[in-house]
Amino acid sequence: MLDSTQLVRELVALYGPPGQERAVAEAVVAHARALDYPPTIDPKGNVLVTLPAQPIRNERPRVVVTAHMDEIALMVQRIHRSGWLDVTPMGGAYPWKWGEQPVQILALHESIPGVLSFGSIHTNAPESVAQQAREAPLIWPQTRVFTSHTAVELYNKGVRPGTRVVLDSSLRSVREIAPYLCSYFLDDRADLAAWLLALESLKDQPLPYDVTFAATTAEEIGGEGASYLMHRLQPEICVALEIGPSVPESPFEIDDQPTIWVTDSFSSIHSDDMAILAAAATELDQEPHWQALSRGGSDASLAAQRGLAARPVTLGFPVENSHGLEIMHRNAPVELARLLTAYLRRLASEET
């Protein structure tokens, strides 16, 4: 039986910037095979597990369930002769969220250590980052990465503009604070844990319709992996597993109860799915947080906005400090998996 906290620890420890998720994909494939599923990987890098109905009814799955493998990261933009790097964000990474931290530069031939740097504070010089930060939020153009190498040395090691830069492994330990877990990249590694827990739950209880589970790539830079997949599959419903960020317009306690996105920057949930989820939650004695977000998006809402899925459903769990050192309840992935599987089973009543 899968242990959700151990899964989160394992997945958080892996580097997975957009477009370079192979280490995470290999872990997902290994777990899927251990559950006796035959996973496949498409040309975009998405890991797919298909649960065909008995008998198989359609050429296309009725439902696709996604959880994304990638994490927010940085990309090398410029290499100075001295070996310092300028970087640009991949997804919603902010320097004031990360701070001066150790990083790894994922070069072609090896991983190279570096340090995010904003310079010294002991100055009032207007050109200093410290003085600029006293007057306005830090931005990535003010940030450099110290490498200890020259530009020529970095080039020979395979560093180029486009090389990914990620937070160091020393920052990828999951901290336990009573019933809470605290870590970078719970978005979306904790959801991948819930995704695997749901596959485990459905293993011996086939659904009466076709469903594909997809661990997707490049969600943080516009849902690229899911969009590629949805263009081919065009399912009726896309269910995305995400975080539920606690925000002023939708505040809640950081408990283990799932969140349900009713709207975000791209799309809104269908009323039929609201009813199904409400009934599923009642069946499970859950009290989910219904969440209207003024900013954000998921694989599901992006697919719906692009006309690639008819009905978007985004399920999550409460999180503090999104895109930073995130905090969640340790039981949240289990409760999310329970709601997901109950929703999928209740969809069976819609079969004609």
Does the pLDDT value for residue 220 go beyond 90? yes
Per-residue HEC secondary structure of 99-112 comes to CCCEEEEECCCCEE
Q: Note whether residue 177 is domain-resident.
A: no
**How does pLDDT run across 131-152, given as a tens digit for each residue?**
998 999 899 999 999 999 999 9
Q: Could you write out the DSSP letters of every residue in 124-177?
A: --TTSHHHHHHHS---GGG-EEE-SS-HHHHHHTT--TT-EEEE-GGG-PPEEE
Q: Note whether residue 123 is domain-resident.
A: yes
**How does pLDDT run across 84-129, given as a tens digit for each residue?**
999 999 999 999 999 999 999 999 989 999 999 999 999 999 999 9
Strands 102-106 and 326-329: unpaired
Q: What percent of the chain has pLDDT over 90?
A: 90
Q: Are residues 213 and 334 in the same domain?
A: yes
User: What's the pLDDT at 229?
Assistant: 97
Q: Note whether residue 230 is domain-resident.
A: yes
User: What's the pLDDT at 352?
Assistant: 39
**How does pLDDT run across 1-40, given as a tens digit for each residue?**
899 999 999 999 999 999 999 999 999 999 999 999 999 9
User: What's the pLDDT at 109?
Assistant: 86
User: What's the pLDDT at 204?
Assistant: 81
Q: Note whether residue 303 is domain-resident.
A: yes
Q: Are residues 216 and 82 in the same domain?
A: no
Q: Are residues 289 and 210 in the same domain?
A: yes
Q: What percent of the chain has pLDDT over 70?
A: 97
CA dihedral 2, 200, 18, 187 (to 10 degrees): -60
Is 214:192 a contact under the CB 8 Å cutoff?
no
Give the containing element (helix H, strand E) for 275: helix 271-284
Q: Is 336 helix (H, G, I), strand (E, B) or coil?
A: helix
- Quote the CA–CA distance of 120 and 134 in Å, as a whole number: 13
| Chain-centroid distance, C-alpha 153 | 33
Indicate the residue among 169, 203, 235 that finishes a domain. 169
Average pLDDT, the chain: 94
| pTM for the predicted model, two decimal places | 0.95
Domain containing residue 80: 73-169
Is 339:258 a contact under the CB 8 Å cutoff?
yes
**How does pLDDT run across 311-348, given as a tens digit for each residue?**
999 999 999 999 999 999 999 999 999 999 999 999 98
Q: Are residues 245 and 339 in the same domain?
A: yes
CATH (domain of 21): 3.40.630.10
Q: Is 246 helix (H, G, I), strand (E, B) or coil?
A: coil
Q: Note whether residue 55 is domain-resident.
A: yes
**How does pLDDT run across 281-312, given as a tens digit for each residue?**
999 999 999 999 999 999 999 999 999 999 99
Total domains in the chain come to: 2
Q: Are residues 307 and 227 in the same domain?
A: yes
User: What's the pLDDT at 52?
Assistant: 74
Q: Note whether residue 175 is domain-resident.
A: no
User: What's the pLDDT at 58?
Assistant: 56
